[in-house]
Amino acid sequence: MNNIISQFRFSESDQPQHNHYHLSCEMILVLEGEAEFLVDGQQYLGGSGSLVFLNSFEQHEVKVKKTPYRRYFLTIDSAEMERMLSYTTLSSIFKNRPAGFRHCVCFSSPEREEIFSLVERLYKEYSAPGAYSGQMLRSLFEQLLIEVYRICPGNFAHNESGSASRVIAIQKYIEEHFTEEIRISDLARQFFISPYYLSHTFAARWAIVPSSTSSSTAFPTPRSCWRPPTCRSARSPTNAASATPTISSAPSRPGSVRRRISIGIVRNKS
């Protein structure tokens, strides 16, 4: 049985992490210090008790603002998570996110102690696995997501119906076939929806308008940020805020694994 946690580490490094992405989903729990997280154009300031959720292929960078900067970070097997949480909305904090989603959530006492305790138990089980370790890791990971859901349900997508559920199904199909050439016209035929309506439904839900001639599409970027009372955020520069999403073609370097999912930014001229 595969473990849902593919990597789990503790780090005290204060070196900046330049723009990069992972093939798996990722969580970062800040224990001490403060860092600035830039995720797909959204900027957050995370201190002790901040938990950051990153989807696979989601570009991000980290700049340490206050030391010592101590944190846990773990990567999650996306396919295993989908199998484990297919009957719940818990995985939506990584994929198919709702409007107003925030990558960085900050917790206050006593919420922070509960989150810290669950993550530390996860780390201990991962580092020194015992009997039925795979099941224990799944159980603790699900408990952690449930706890986060109870604190900030607005960061999770609830059961959808109608056009919204169809768009989510299309998005899931795109994620599963991101290495293939996918056109809007092909998606429209497969899901019995007009290309025009498909593009506008994507725009209404995620502020993304996929190009009808592109080979792939972007993981949705929310059009606004949900801000829990205990969180602070840093605003992104205004000249990088307005975007007309486009979709990149194949990797520019042979043999490289690059994010085929990107958003072209049209900068303001003001």
pLDDT, residue 168, reads: 64
* Contact residues for 84 (Cβ-Cβ < 8 A; gap 6+): 4, 138, 142
Please name which of 71, 72, 65 lies closest in space to residue 32, comparing C-alpha atoms. Answer: 71
Q: How confident is the model at residue 189 (pLDDT cuts 50, 70, 90)?
A: confident
The more confidently predicted of residues 186 and 166 is: 186
Q: How confident is the model at residue 10 (pLDDT cuts 50, 70, 90)?
A: very high
Give CA–CA dist 162/229, Å, rounded.
32
Contact of 45 with 114, CB cutoff 8 Å: no
The strand ranges marked E within 77-223 are: 104-106
Q: How confident is the model at residue 79 (pLDDT cuts 50, 70, 90)?
A: confident
Q: How confident is the model at residue 29 (pLDDT cuts 50, 70, 90)?
A: very high
30: β partners: 71
Q: How confident is the model at residue 33 (pLDDT cuts 50, 70, 90)?
A: very high
Inform me whether the pLDDT recorded for 229 exceeds 90: no
Inform me whether the pLDDT recorded for 202 exceeds 90: no
Q: What is the mean pLDDT of residues 23-52?
A: 94
Q: Distances in Å between the alpha carbon of 60 and those of 53, 214, 256?
A: 11, 23, 19
Inform me whether the pLDDT recorded for 241 exceeds 60: no
